[in-house]
Chains A and B, each alone.
Chain A
Amino acid sequence: DIQMTQSPSSLSASVGDRVTITCQASQDISNYLNWYQQKPGKAPKLLIYDASNLETGVPSRFSGSGSGTDFTFTISSLQPEDIATYYCQQYDNLPVTFGQGTKLEIK
Chain B
Amino acid sequence: EVQLLESGGGLVQPGGSLRLSCAASGFTFSSYAMSWVRQAPGKGLEWVSAISGSGGSTYYADSVKGRFTISRDNSKNTLYLQMNSLRAEDTAVYYCAKPLWFGDPGGAFDIWGQGTMVTVSS
- In the complex the two chains form, is A44's CB within 8 Å of B47's CB? no
- In the complex the two chains form, is A97's CB within 8 Å of B112's CB? no
Q: Report how many residues on chain B are interfacial, defined by Cβ distance under 8 Å.
A: 22
Interface string of A47-81 (1 = CB under 8 A from B): 00110000100000000000000000000000000
Q: Tell which of A38, A45, A55, A91 touches B107, judged by Cβ atoms closer than 8 Å.
A: A91
- In the complex the two chains form, is A96's CB within 8 Å of B113's CB? no
Secondary structure at the B interface, as helix, strand, loop or mixed, is loop
State whether the Cβ of A89 lies closer than 8 Å to any Cβ in chain B. Answer: yes
Residues of A within 8 A of B95 (CB): 43-44
Q: Tell which of B44, B45, B46, B106 touches A91, judged by Cβ atoms closer than 8 Å.
A: B106
- In the complex the two chains form, is B114's CB within 8 Å of A43's CB? yes
Given A94-B105, A95-B61, is A46 in contact with B110 using a C-beta cutoff of 8 Å? yes
CA distance A31 to B105 in the complex (A): 17
Residues of B within 8 A of A46 (CB): 100, 108-110
- In the complex the two chains form, is B110's CB within 8 Å of A96's CB? no
Interface string of B103-122 (1 = CB under 8 A from A): 01111111011110000000
Interface residues of A (CB under 8 A from B): 1, 32, 34, 36, 38, 43-46, 49-50, 55, 87, 89, 91, 93-101
Interface residues of B (CB under 8 A from A): 35, 44-47, 50, 59, 61-62, 95, 100, 104-110, 112-115
Question: What 4 A-B pairs have minimum CB-CB distances, sorted nearest first?
Answer: A91-B106, A43-B112, A49-B108, A96-B47
